[in-house]
Amino acid sequence: MAGTVLVLAAGLGARYGGLKQLERVGPERKTLLEYSLADALRHGYGRAVCTVLEENVPAVEELLEPLRSRMAIDLAIQRLADRPRSVPPAGKIARKKPWGTAHAVYAARDLLATPFAVVNADDCYGAEAWAALEDVLVRHPGAAALVAYRLAQTLSPHGPVSRGVCRLAGERLAAIAEFRRIGRDGEGKIVDAASGAVFSGTEPVSMNFWHLPPAFLAFLRRDGEAFFSGPADMESAEWALPDAVGRWMGQERAPIWATVTESPWCGITHRRDREWVERQLKPLTDPISSL
């Protein structure tokens, strides 16, 4: 079977004010999810797994139906109650938003038996980035890998964003840390409003464009046990994929190959990002109709 791509499509879009995963943009009036799946198809991925919220299943099923003739598509449901058995029931926590992107991968664990790529449903990575991942996997088949971008290329002009800031050692990922409120201040400097960290803009960052082996899923269960047993404030805690990958790399000495693409990128975080995405999309992806 051809490769599998996991699409993380269960976010609530709180900063956007709606389901940005289903917004139709670009020359073909398609969603970013559809553009990404088209790029995946062109680079040898014959199967997709999409993590979604239960209430959005009908809309996502309808959206993806035209692509089912070209690739196998399964849906994984991200539920608040889906946690490792060793932790207390989720029903004791008054929380509505999903647990985060690491939990979105955990929710799809039973559908992932082979190495898989990971992408966000609200990002468009571009054909050049998919080719960069393909090049890494030709040299290191089945390996864990990250396609990173330069921080300045990934900022929204309309508000703060979350980014996994990386440190590389040659072709390997050496460290990664999630910052959740990165943007430009009044002087044009790139800062994280939550921590006060200042960035040059050239730092490699994760946009959740990964390739991961099944061994990561075994670690993720253990990481989930620690996450759900640890934070005092489970109303706002987030189990983020970059943080989980960083712990996997540190605790199990898992090697992760990294490549930094200079490809353009676009994604939707804030409502006003839509017009910018419209401009960026055309040079980023080939028409879906050409498949």
Instruction: Determine the average pLDDT of the residues in 32-47.
Output: 92
Which carries the bigger pLDDT value, residue 233 or residue 51?
51
When mean pLDDT is compared across 34-48, 131-145, 201-215, 273-287, the lowest value belongs to: 273-287
**102 lies in which domain range?**
3-290
Do residues 153 and 267 make contact, with C-beta atoms less than 8 angstroms apart? no
Q: What is the pLDDT of residues 221-263, one digit of tens each?
A: 999 999 988 766 777 888 999 999 999 999 999 999 999 998 8
What total of structural domains would you count in the chain? 1
Looking up tokens 């002009």 gives 157
Beta carbons of 52 and 75 less than 8 angstroms apart = yes
pLDDT in tens, 91-102: 556 677 889 999
Which residues are registered as beta bridge partners of 270? none
pLDDT bin (cut points 50, 70, 90) of residue 89 is low
Which of 19, 2, 20, 221 shows the shortest CA–CA distance to 108?
A: 221
CATH code (residue 181): 3.90.550.10
Backbone angles phi and psi of 173, in degrees to 5: -75, 125
In three-state secondary structure terms, 224 is: helix
- Structure tokens belonging to residue 12: 């609530």
pLDDT at 1: 38
Instruction: Compute φ and ψ for 16, nearest 5 degrees.
Output: -80, -30
